[in-house]
Structure 1
Amino acid sequence: MWDYKFARDNPIYFSHLFVAYLKQEMVLSEEEASARTRGFPRLKTQEEEEQLAAQRLAVPSPLPRILKEFTKAAIRTQPYDLLRWSAAYFAALATGLEPPVKERLEFPPLEAPGGLTPGYLRVLHRQQGDAPFVQYEQLLRRWKGLCLGVEALDTIWGLVATEEQDEVPWLHIVSAGSGLISQSPLQTMVLVCETLTTEPEGASACVPMTTFEPLYLHVSQLDHPGLPGVGPAVGIDVTGPLLEHLRAVAAEQGGNVTPRNLAHFNCPKLY
């Protein structure tokens, strides 16, 4: 039976075969058959095929595992530009850096400025490591590796840096980035806790009060009414009672505060 799939996948072979058939049936002369096959590559003999197979490179044994991990990472991260993200992914692996990979798939996809989501913010935080400061060019390279919009980065950088600054505290980027994609200062500080916590996902997302307090004060002074997650600056009449309450709560929780503490009915307002 005629195998159409094989014919489709091997057009040159079947072209030669068809011309040979016509020649055998005396439909084509020797010269006509030669002319018909002149434009086709010559079919390799069995000996040539064996020599070619011997020259082929062996597949490295780690390659299947690498491709499997790459596939799972791409599915979890869902990058907008797969080619650009893949380049950043393998570059990170080659240099021993944290790859641009989300811990889990964010579903349904979140609509946020520049494509920034809580998952991407956590990726950037892991890539930053323990370094307290970050430079714009350094952050821009990671940002592009995640296929995020540069306008969102410029907005965040403009919130925390002056024109003369070429580096800023990394935690200020986290708080400003949280404010960019949140709908209220409360949601911003909850996202800050969820980004900075060392607890596994689904736990209390606690952070030390010594970390939370300066970041809350930083967000409270950003003064950007156009961003719901930041809002206008607030004074000590708002920040004072809140911090006093949270210090007392943290003293009973090993020095930590959690998003649940912020949403408690006894907690003074954040803004």
Structure 2
Amino acid sequence: MPLPDTMYCAQQIYVPPELPNILKNFTKAAIRTQPTDVLQWCADYFSVLSKGECLPVKHKLDPHGTLQTTGTELTPDLLKMLHKQLSPETTCSKEDLQKEWKGLNLPMDQMETLLSLGRFSADINWLDFFALGCTALGGTLVSSLKFACEILTDDEEGGDASIPFDTFVRLYTYLAHLDGDIPQDHIDSFLSSLQPQV
């Protein structure tokens, strides 16, 4: 059987100029994120990239490999990724939250516990769920708020971790009311004591 007449060489193959950069960014993102379900993560990555949405990517490589283990607990980096994915809207559906949660290979029972604690309905207020996620990281009100500030800040890593005061008020008030042991006058007094520093 004779060989076909068409022979391909570098001059015959057109490579779009943006393709090498897209593949380079994709490869770096995959290495940093270390997804457990690579195919699903790839599909999600290119789907949100085509829509111009926030990519499901960690900002730095996790030396402990938390995304490679199954059933890992929520970490600050994972909560930050969830926040980037779900915070563009003030509310999200339970289905969207479940999809992102599963994509990070987090245990579903942890998500169900947080949903139960917050008594969320079909539409979930994202900032309230985020605050509850911070309690899963911190345990106490103070440490939860510290995690929230570190995740939400635009400051450089190691900086002050400042966030808008109204966001802090919202998170603190929600968690304090959820705690149930902090009287409203104590909440108001604490927030007014912070006002001169703002």
TM-score normalised by structure 2 residue count: 0.81
Match of 1:214 among 146, 170, 181: 170
Match of 2:182 among 231, 235, 243: 235
What is the rounded CA distance, in whole Å, between the counterparts of 1:114 and 1:219 in structure 2?
Answer: 24
8 Å contact from structure 2 (residues 173, 187) kept in 1: no
In structure 2, the CA distance between the partners of 1:243 and 1:196, relative to structure 1 (3 Å rule), is farther
What is the rounded CA distance, in whole Å, between the counterparts of 2:70 and 2:142 in structure 1?
Answer: 17
8 Å contact from structure 2 (residues 41, 103) kept in 1: yes
Identify the residue that residue 66 of structure 1 maps to in structure 2.
Answer: 22
Letter of the 1:249 partner, please give it: L
RMSD of aligned Cα (Å): 2.8
In structure 2, the CA distance between the partners of 1:196 and 1:97, relative to structure 1 (3 Å rule), is same
Match of 1:190 among 140, 146, 160: 146
In structure 2, the CA distance between the partners of 1:201 and 1:147, relative to structure 1 (3 Å rule), is same
The runs of 5 or more residues in structure 2 that have no matched partner are: none
8 Å contact from structure 1 (residues 116, 181) kept in 2: yes
8 Å contact from structure 2 (residues 35, 104) kept in 1: yes
Instruction: Give the alignment of 1:160-171 within 5 angstroms.
Output: 160-162=118-120, 165-171=121-127
Letter of the 1:134 partner, please give it: C
Post-superposition Cα deviations, 1:84-129, rounded to whole Å, max 9, x if no partner, equal: 1111111111111111011222333459964422112112222234
Post-superposition Cα deviations, 1:16-40, rounded to whole Å, max 9, x if no partner, equal: xxxxxxxxxxxxxxxxxxxxxxxxx
Deviation at 1:73, TM superposition (A): 0.6
What is the rounded CA distance, in whole Å, between the counterparts of 1:134 and 1:140 in structure 2?
Answer: 10
TM-score normalised by structure 1 residue count: 0.62
Identical positions, percent: 32
Post-superposition Cα deviations, 1:15-66, rounded to whole Å, max 9, x if no partner, equal: xxxxxxxxxxxxxxxxxxxxxxxxxxx6x63xx2x51527x86333322211
Letter of the 2:6 partner, please give it: Q
Does residue 86 of the first structure (1) align with residue 42 of the second (2)?
yes
Match of 1:247 among 179, 192, 196: 192
Match of 1:104 among 51, 55, 60: 60
Match of 1:121 among 68, 79, 87: 79
Letter of the 1:137 partner, please give it: E
What is the rounded CA distance, in whole Å, between the counterparts of 1:60 and 1:219 in structure 2?
Answer: 50
Letter of the 1:248 partner, please give it: S
Identify the residue that residue 25 of structure 1 maps to in structure 2.
Answer: none
Name the larger-Rg structure.
1
Match of 1:173 among 120, 124, 129: 129
Higher relative contact order (CA 8 A, sep 6+): 2
Deviation at 1:75, TM superposition (A): 1.6
Post-superposition Cα deviations, 1:129-178, rounded to whole Å, max 9, x if no partner, equal: 4421111112222223333333332222222234xx21121111111111
